[in-house]
C-alpha cells in the first residue's frame, strides 16, 4: 500500500493532460478560424457601383460634348482647305508648296463632287476619333456618328452605345496561414465587373458653320464657265466672281486659284479661307 | 499515506489546472484579436451624388475656359452655387492651378477634358467650407 502511495507513475497524467489541452486548443483555434469567416461584402456595394457607373457615364458625355465642339471647328478648317470636296475626283495641284483641290480639270467638271455636308461629316468623325481614343473610364466607339449639319448647329447621333463597366471596389483581404488570418498583411484584390451600363453618346453643338456658303461659290463657278464659252477665262474671271478672289496659278499656269473668306470663325485657333483650283487654260 | 507525496500531487494538479485555464483564456483572447470584425459601410450617399452632379455642371459651364487655361471665373461661380463661405481647389493634371488646398473636401469631381491641341487634361475640382 505504501509502495503504491510513493509511486510517481500517476504524476505523468497531469503533464500529459496539459500537452493534450494545448494541442486541442490549437486545433480548435484553426478550425474555428476557418469556420467563422467575417462578412466581407459591404452592404450596398453593388448598388453603389451601379450609381458610380452612371456618374462615369455623365463624365463621358461631358468629354464628348467638349470634344465635339473642338472637332467641329477643326473639321470646318480642313473642309475649307479641301475646297469643300469629299474626294479628289479632279485631282489636286501644288501651289507654293500647298496642296489645293481642283473643282475642274481638263475634260472633267467635278463641281458635283463638292459635297460639303458629307465631307464635313467624315472629317468630323475623324477628328472625334482622335479625342475619343484617348478617353479612359468608358468605352467610346470611334467613327460612330451620323452627322447632321445646319448653319448654326451640328448634331451627332451615336450609332453604337458607349459602355461603362459596373465595377465594385477592390476587396481588402488578409493573408492566411493554415486557415488562420494573419493581421497586418492586407492586400487589395480587384473585383471582376458585375455588369455594364450602356448609353448613346450623342451630342449637339451650337456653332456657326455657314456651310451653305459653298452652294453660292458653286453658282459663281458655273456662271464663270458659262462665260468662258464666249470669252477668255481671264476676262470672265474679272466679271464673274463676287465672293471669290481669283488669280492665275504661278506653278500650274493652266489653273486659276480661287479663294473666298470663310464665313465660319474659330474662337480657339485659325480658320482657313476656302481655296480650290479651276482648270482654265489661257 | 505519505502526506508530502499527497501534497505534491495536489499541487501538481492545481498547477496543471491553472496552466490549462491560462491556455483557454489565451485562446479566447487570441480568437477575438485575430477574427476580423464585419464592417458595414456604404461608401456613397445621395447627398454626395447630388453634390457631384452640381460640380459636373460647373465644370461643363467652365469647360472652354478650363481647357484654355483661364480660371478666373471658377471662384465666382463656386461662390454663386455654394455660397460665399465656399472654398475650392482646381487641379489640372494633379497641379493646383486655382483656389487653395482643402483638407477634406465636402464634394469633389474628377473628369477628363479635351484641349484644342488634341491632348487630354485631368481635371479635379474640390469644394469645401472656409
List pLDDT tens digits, range A231-241. Answer: 888 888 888 78
For the segment A4-30, the average pLDDT, to the nearest whole number, is 73
A132 chain-B contacts, CB cut-off 8 A: none
Q: What is the pLDDT of residues A154-198, one digit of tens each?
A: 999 999 999 999 988 887 777 777 666 666 677 778 888 889 999
Does this model's pTM top 0.80? My answer is: no
**Is it the case that residue B101 has pLDDT exceeding 60?**
yes
Provide CB contacts within 8 A for A158, sequence distance 6+.
A141, A144, A145, A200, A201, A202
Nearest to B27 among A25, A134, A183 (CB): A25
Angle at A278 between CA A274 and CA A280, to 5 degrees: 150
pLDDT at residue A27 in the model? 83
Report percent pLDDT > 90 for chain B.
21
Q: Which of A175-179, A254-258, B117-121 has the lowest mean pLDDT?
A: A175-179
Residue A109 forms beta bridges with which residues?
Answer: A104
**Is it the case that residue A6 has pLDDT exceeding 70?**
no
Q: What are the CA-CA distances from residue A51 to residues A54, A58, A72, A83, B69 (Å)?
A: 5, 11, 32, 47, 31
Q: What is the pLDDT of residues A61-97, one digit of tens each?
A: 999 999 999 999 999 999 999 999 988 889 999 999 9
Q: Which of residues 55-114 of B touch A (CB under 8 A)?
A: 56, 59-60, 63-64, 67-68, 109-114
For residue A254, the tally of other CB atoms under 10 A from its CB is 16
Nearest to B56 among A36, A62, A169 (CB): A62
pLDDT at residue B55 in the model? 84
What does the alpha-carbon distance between residue A130 and residue A144 come to, in Å, rounded to a whole number?
Answer: 12
Contact A268 B5 (CB under 8 A): no
Contact B20 A18 (CB under 8 A): yes
Q: Which of residues 143-172 of A touch B (CB under 8 A)?
A: 169
CA distance B86 to chain A (A): 23
pLDDT band at A117 (very low <50, low <70, confident <90, very high): very high
Q: Is A18 on the interface with B (CB under 8 A)?
A: yes
pLDDT at residue A189 in the model? 80
**Is it the case that residue A5 has pLDDT exceeding 60?**
no
pLDDT at residue A214 in the model? 95
* ipTM score above 0.85: no
Quick check: A93 and A255 in contact, CB under 8 A?
Answer: yes
pLDDT band at A10 (very low <50, low <70, confident <90, very high): low
Size of interface A-B (CB pairs under 8 A): 113
Q: Is A63 on the interface with B (CB under 8 A)?
A: yes
pLDDT band at B35 (very low <50, low <70, confident <90, very high): low
* Residue whose cell numbers read 470634344: A67
Contact B43 A183 (CB under 8 A): no
Amino acid at each position: 500500500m505504501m509502495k503504491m502511495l510513493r509511486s510517481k507513475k500517476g504524476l505523468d497524467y497531469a503533464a500529459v493532460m496539459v500537452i493534450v489541452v494545448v494541442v486541442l486548443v490549437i486545433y480548435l483555434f484553426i478550425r474555428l478560424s476557418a469556420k467563422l469567416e467575417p462578412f466581407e461584402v459591404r452592404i450596398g456595394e453593388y448598388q453603389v457601383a451601379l450609381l458610380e457607373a452612371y456618374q462615369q457615364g455623365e463624365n463621358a458625355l461631358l468629354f464628348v460634348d467638349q470634344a465635339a465642339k473642338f472637332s467641329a471647328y477643326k473639321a470646318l478648317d480642313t473642309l475649307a482647305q479641301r475646297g469643300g470636296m469629299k474626294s479628289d475626283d479632279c485631282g489636286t495641284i501644288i501651289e507654293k508648296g500647298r496642296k489645293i483641290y481642283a473643282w475642274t480639270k481638263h475634260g472633267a467638271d467635278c463641281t458635283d463632287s463638292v459635297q460639303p455636308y458629307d465631307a464635313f461629316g467624315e472629317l468630323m468623325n475623324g477628328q472625334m476619333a482622335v479625342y475619343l481614343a484617348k478617353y479612359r473610364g468608358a468605352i467610346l466607339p470611334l467613327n460612330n456618328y451620323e452627322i447632321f449639319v445646319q448653319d448654326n448647329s451640328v448634331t451627332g447621333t451615336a450609332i453604337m452605345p458607349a459602355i461603362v463597366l459596373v465595377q465594385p471596389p477592390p476587396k481588402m483581404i488578409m493573408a492566411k496561414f493554415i486557415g488562420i488570418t494573419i493581421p497586418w498583411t492586407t492586400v487589395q484584390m480587384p473585383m471582376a465587373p458585375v455588369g455594364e451600363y450602356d448609353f448613346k453618346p450623342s451630342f449637339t453643338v451650337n456653332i456657326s458653320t455657314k456651310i451653305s456658303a459653298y452652294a453660292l461659290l458653286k453658282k459663281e463657278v458655273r456662271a464663270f464657265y458659262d462665260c468662258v464659252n464666249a470669252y477668255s477665262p481671264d476676262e470672265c474671271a474679272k466679271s464673274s466672281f463676287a465672293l471669290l478672289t481669283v488669280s492665275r496659278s504661278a506653278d500650274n499656269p493652266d489653273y486659276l486659284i480661287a479663294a473666298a473668306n470663310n464665313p465660319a470663325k474659330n474662337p480657339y485657333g485659325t480658320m482657313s479661307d476656302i481655296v480650290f483650283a479651276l482648270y482654265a487654260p489661257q | 499515506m505519505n502526506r508530502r507525496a499527497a501534497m505534491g500531487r495536489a499541487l501538481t494538479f492545481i498547477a496543471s489546472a491553472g496552466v490549462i485555464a491560462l491556455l483557454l483564456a489565451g485562446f479566447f483572447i487570441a480568437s477575438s484579436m485575430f477574427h476580423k470584425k464585419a464592417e458595414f459601410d456604404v461608401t456613397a450617399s445621395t447627398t454626395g451624388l447630388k453634390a457631384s452632379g452640381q460640380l459636373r455642371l460647373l465644370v461643363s459651364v467652365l469647360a472652354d475656359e478650363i481647357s484654355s487655361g483661364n480660371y478666373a471665373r471658377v471662384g465666382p461661380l463656386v461662390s454663386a452655387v455654394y455660397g460665399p463661405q465656399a472654398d475650392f481647389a482646381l487641379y489640372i493634371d494633379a497641379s493646383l492651378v486655382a483656389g487653395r488646398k482643402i483638407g477634406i473636401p465636402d464634394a469633389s469631381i474628377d473628369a477628363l477634358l479635351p484641349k484644342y491641341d488634341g491632348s487630354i487634361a485631368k481635371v479635379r475640382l474640390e469644394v469645401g467650407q472656409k
